[in-house]
Amino acid sequence: MKERYRKRVPLKAWVMFSNDGHCGQGRVLDFTVPGCQIESTEKVIRGEYLELRILLPGQTALFTVRLAAVRWTKGTRFGAEFIRMDKSEQQTLDVFIADHFQRSTPDRHLRLTKEISERLQEG
């Protein structure tokens, strides 16, 4: 298993995930750079690629990650790494992280925002 990028930041959000032959839903339990941990009763396979649609707390529109890779699975949980998203979605994520995490971790949210942006630009 790949070493964790950064410490996980707790979050509760609804997520729908899909690929050509698979569709499921669950809860995002936390964000890390550059992805999230999801809990779902739907089985996914390590190495599988998914599209994620996440309803972030306080948002009315779904946040979409066009391409995410399942990096690990354990029981009903799995880790998804964000690989590709539209620029507007990246901006939504940046703003959400800044607004949501600033209250509890003022220094960490700046690092998270910068690192997520850099990693997504690489991919």
Cα gap 30→40, rounded to integer Å: 13
* DSSP H stretches of helix in the chain: 87-102, 106-122
| pLDDT in the model for residue 18 | 96
Nearest to 6 by CA among 96, 112, 105, 97: 112
- DSSP bridge partners of 25: 16
Q: Which residue has the tokens 């998203």?
A: 85
- Residue 68 and residue 49 in contact, taking contact as beta carbons nearer than 8 Å: yes
Give the C-alpha separation, 83 to 74, whole Å. 21
- Residue-level pLDDT at 93: 79
Max Cα-Cα span within the chain: 41
pLDDT tens string for the chain (123 positions)?
A: 455 455 567 788 999 999 988 899 999 998 876 899 999 999 999 999 999 999 988 888 898 999 999 999 999 999 999 999 999 988 887 777 777 665 555 555 556 666 666 766 666
**Cα R_g (the chain), whole angstroms:** 13
Q: Where do the domains of the chain lie, and which CATH numbers do they carry?
A: 9-122 (2.40.10.220)
